[in-house]
């Protein structure tokens, strides 16, 4: 039996008291869609057991069935601790793919659409007496063949092939519950400004807002308390700003790597927040932030006001036996450590909205992240609505992580296959750029990574050609923006290059078969030495290019039938990782 994930799932907004609901749940396929008619939410039928938060398609779920089952049901009994009797009880789901209806003791409590983002519900009014069993039931729809759903690499056929993999249906991130008072902190958001030395906090208060409410803020850096503040709270939405520059007793800390966040110096500030009514603590939250700036100056990518060369690796976030759900928290950390061991300073999380625990480790270990949305495969007005709605939730959830430096709502014209010339699809791509900017002015945004850009802050290009062809293509800006990798133009009709930094955001894809492994890549080698040498040839021409400001190599690990990783699917190195680091360290 798999061991369920048990770490607190929301690392930048943690409460001390909570109950993890991962583990064994009752589980039933509803292929005939009769569960609603038969009221399974009140009387759950006998069926399988499943280990949450692993999807039924995985070995770790205990079911391991990759076939289509578009409607599934979950059920379990919970016992609310007696100490919570005077509290509000909030039920949380990290992510459920794709549509979910949640019932408590036979009563519908909430509905959520979107397979990548969290949702929660106050279930207090539906609970029985504390210390007795309450029933949670979940109905999930995941239309396997609907190509207008944001699904990323999840295939709409039963057998995975090419660049598409086994689907994930239902609960795939942690489920938990926690007690809160009627008045709580419902959200916080951190915005650093290194030029002024300020950190801005925006916070929202939920519930009753009465006289005498205040927020206490304590900010520490490496164990030294530098801010202690308490201010009255009179509005639901609030914003305060703290200057950090003059708060250090050790003045050596106030410049550059001494307190900025970067891959080389992942400095984090620890925060304790207390919402109070007089002296009574209503809510206590632990959080953190990093002081980091991303900008473009005269066409140069800058990190903390200094030119910075991005050496990224494509990371799809799939795990053997577990698919999109990391089997352990340590597995998320290990992927970052292995990438850093090879000299990469970040990752493009490809077609996956990653677990917040991954972003926590990226923040803590120092690892740049391009946050990417899982795309639909075909365009429609409904597909556009689905993507835009869920993307807004993604950016809101992950806004405060210093590791995220780029937002990427669309990739390789997925779901906008006619964007090169179709004005409606161009409008959609451009609107995604501006929507992202409307809620986050601190990061760079691409309208469509790979090719066929409308408006993007970085010209991201995908090119899997040979080292010789790549060297010629990126010998000048003119060559770079007129070359047509995969026979795609770099800019959609009516749009043009505006001087933004040029990066090769996919290249390589070198397949190397280990043991009896079968699969494919964009090119192939026959030995570990050949893999290193081909990586060297392709990467060195990018380093030598006068126009390229960074790259993203395909890819970190093999995934199912795709065997072009530097690591196997089981995270075993295919070559000497020190030699990859030596190559990456040249710039």
pLDDT at 138: 98
- The 10s digit of each residue's pLDDT in 131-153 is 779 999 999 999 999 999 999 99
Domain boundary among 154, 177, 200: 177
Both 171 and 194 in a single domain?
no
Q: Does the pLDDT value for residue 1 go beyond 80? A: no
162: pLDDT strictly greater than 60: yes
Phi, psi for 107 (deg, rounded to 5): -110, 130
pLDDT value, residue 515: 82
Whether 344 and 369 share a structural domain: yes
**What total of structural domains would you count in the chain?**
3
Q: Is the pLDDT of residue 523 over 80?
A: yes
Give Cβ neighbours of residue 144 (< 8 Å, ≥ 6 apart). 68, 70, 156, 158, 167, 169
Residue 521 pLDDT > 80, yes or no?
Answer: yes
- Pair 131, 237 in one domain: no
Q: Is residue 59 part of a domain?
A: yes
Q: What is the CATH number of the domain that holds 264?
A: 2.60.40.10
Has residue 1 been placed in a domain? no
In sequence order, which residues have a C-beta less than 8 Å from that of residue 283 and are 6 or more positions away?
15, 180, 181, 183, 184, 185, 273, 274, 275
Q: What is the pLDDT of residues 547-582, one digit of tens each?
A: 999 999 999 999 999 999 999 999 999 999 999 999
Asked if 21 contacts 178 with a C-beta cutoff of 8 angstroms, the reply is no
User: Does this model's pTM top 0.85?
Assistant: yes
- Asked if the structure places residue 13 within a domain, the reply is no
Whole-number CA gyration radius for the chain: 24
Q: Is the pLDDT of residue 255 over 70?
A: no
Q: What is the domain range of residue 310? A: 294-584
Cα(579)–Cα(387) distance, integer angstroms: 40
Q: Is residue 8 part of a domain?
A: no
- Between 416 and 250, residue with greater pLDDT: 416
- Rounded to an integer, what distance in angstroms lies between the CA atom of residue 536 and that of residue 529? 11
Beta carbons within 8 Å of 43's beta carbon, 6+ residues apart: none
Question: Does 155 share its domain with 221?
Answer: no
Q: What is the pLDDT of residues 174-213, one digit of tens each?
A: 999 999 999 999 999 999 999 999 999 999 999 988 889 9
Mean pLDDT of the chain: 95
State the pLDDT confidence band at 384, using cuts at 50, 70 and 90.
very high
The confidence score (pLDDT) of residue 2 equals 61
Residue 560 lies in a domain: yes
pLDDT at 298 over 90: yes
pLDDT at residue 155, as a whole number:
93
Confidence tier at 3 by pLDDT (50, 70, 90): low
> Is pLDDT above 80 for 426?
yes
pLDDT grade for 249, boundaries at 50, 70 and 90? low
Asked if residue 402 and residue 301 are part of one domain, the reply reads yes
pLDDT tens per residue, range 470-510: 999 999 999 999 999 999 999 999 999 999 999 999 999 99
Q: Which residue has the tokens 């609107």?
A: 431
Q: What is the DSSP string of 14-51?
A: B-S--EE--EEEEEEE-TT--TTTTTTTTSPPP-EEEE
């Amino acid at each position: 039996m798999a061991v369920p994930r048990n770490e607190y799932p929301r690392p930048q907004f943690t409460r001390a008291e909570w109950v993890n609901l991962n583990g064994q749940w009752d589980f039933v396929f509803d292929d005939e869609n009769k569960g609603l008619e038969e009221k399974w939410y009140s009387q759950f039928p006998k069926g399988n057991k499943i280990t949450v938060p692993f999807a039924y398609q995985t070995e770790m779920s205990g079911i391991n069935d990759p076939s289509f089952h578009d409607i599934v049901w979950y059920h379990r009994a919970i016992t609310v601790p007696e100490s919570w009797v005077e509290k509000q009880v909030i039920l949380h789901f990290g992510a459920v793919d794709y549509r979910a209806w949640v019932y408590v003791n036979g009563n519908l409590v909430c509905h959520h659409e979107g397979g990548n983002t969290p949702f929660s519900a106050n279930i207090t009014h539906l609970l029985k007496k504390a210390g007795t069993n309450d029933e949670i039931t979940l109905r999930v729809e995941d239309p396997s063949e609907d190509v207008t759903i944001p699904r990323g690499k999840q295939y709409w056929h039963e057998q995975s092939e090419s660049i598409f993999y086994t689907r994930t249906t239902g609960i795939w991130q942690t489920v938990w519950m926690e007690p809160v008072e009627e008045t709580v902190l419902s959200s916080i958001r951190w915005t650093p400004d290194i030029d002024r030395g300020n950190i801005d906090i925006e916070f929202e208060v939920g519930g009753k807002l009465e006289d005498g409410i205040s927020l206490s803020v304590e900010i520490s850096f490496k164990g030294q308390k530098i801010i202690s503040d308490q201010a009255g709270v009179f509005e639901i939405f609030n914003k305060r700003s703290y200057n950090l520059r003059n708060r250090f007793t050790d003045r050596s800390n106030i410049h550059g790597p001494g307190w900025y966040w970067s891959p080389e110096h992942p400095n984090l500030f620890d925060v304790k927040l207390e919402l109070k009514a007089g002296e009574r603590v209503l809510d206590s939250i632990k959080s953190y932030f990093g002081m980091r700036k991303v900008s473009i100056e005269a066409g140069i990518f800058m990190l903390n006001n200094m030119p910075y060369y991005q050496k990224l690796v494509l990371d799809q976030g799939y795990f053997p036996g577990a698919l999109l759900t990391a089997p352990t928290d340590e597995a998320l950390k290990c992927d970052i450590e292995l990438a850093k061991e090879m000299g990469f300073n970040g990752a493009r999380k490809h077609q996956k909205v990653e677990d917040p625990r991954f972003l926590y480790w990226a923040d803590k270990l120092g690892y740049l992240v391009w946050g990417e949305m899982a795309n639909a495969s075909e365009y429609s007005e409904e597909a556009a609505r689905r993507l835009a709605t869920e993307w807004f939730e993604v950016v809101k959830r992950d806004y405060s992580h210093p590791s995220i430096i780029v937002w990427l709502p669309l990739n390789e014209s997925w779901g906008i296959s006619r964007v090169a010339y179709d004005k409606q699809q161009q409008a959609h791509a451009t609107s995604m750029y501006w929507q992202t900017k409307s809620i986050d002015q601190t990061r760079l945004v691409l309208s469509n990574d790979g090719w066929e850009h409308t408006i993007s802050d970085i010209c991201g290009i995908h090119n899997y050609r040979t080292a010789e062809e790549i060297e010629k293509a990126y010998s000048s800006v003119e060559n770079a923006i007129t070359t047509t990798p995969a026979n795609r133009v770099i800019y959609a009709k009516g749009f043009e290059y505006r001087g933004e930094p040029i990066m090769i955001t996919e290249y390589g894809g070198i397949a190397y078969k280990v043991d009896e492994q079968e699969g494919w890549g964009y090119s192939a080698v026959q030995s570990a030495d050949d893999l290193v040498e081909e990586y060297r040839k392709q990467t060195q021409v990018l380093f030598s290019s006068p126009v390229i400001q960074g790259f993203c190599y395909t890819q970190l690990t093999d995934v199912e039938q795709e065997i072009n990783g530097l690591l196997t699917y089981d995270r075993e190195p295919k070559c000497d990782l020190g030699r990859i680091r030596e190559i990456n360290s040249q710039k």
